Amino acid sequence: MNPIRSVAVRLGAKPWLPRYTKLIVGSDRLLQRVSRGHITLLTVAGLPGLKLTVRGRRSGLTRTTPLLCVPRDDGWLVAGSNWGAPETPSWVHNLRAAEYATVGYRGRSVRVSVRIAEGPERDVLWAALVATWPNYELYAHRTTR
């Protein structure tokens, strides 16, 4: 594992991390802006990431959120973990309410449909998510959602 990824995983396990969400997201947006979208905190850490664009369910405005992902078959896996904070991220609510979303991945943009994995399939897909970001297991224990 690359050393920066190891540090990211260790930091990601800290229970105080959700308090710094705004700072982390702001820093990531600044990094993306100065690199013209080529570099994110995820890419620095050697982690796969995508940009999810979905219309806000209340505002109707299009919002783009950078997310850790796991490329799989002809799509991507994402988890609305919010670092184990009690609140579900807004993008999750927006995605559930949307007919479709757009994923930006490695310089291309793809329109996608949403599918929530359940049952045995969810267990298999969850294992793939945890293999990429082990902290998802910690986050699942921090919250009841």
Where residue 80 sits, what CATH number does that domain have? 2.30.110.10
- For the stretch 80-131, pLDDT in tens is 998 888 889 999 999 999 989 999 998 899 999 999 999 999 999 999 999 9
For residue 92, what pLDDT is reported?
96
Contact 68, 132 (CB under 8 A): yes
Q: Count of domains in the chain?
A: 1
pTM above 0.75, yes or no: yes
**Residue holding tokens 């369910």?**
57
| Full domain range(s) for residue 75 | 3-142
CA neighbours within 13 Å on the CB side: how many for 34?
Answer: 7
Contact 65, 102 (CB under 8 A): no
Among 13, 19, 8, 4, CA closest to 87:
19
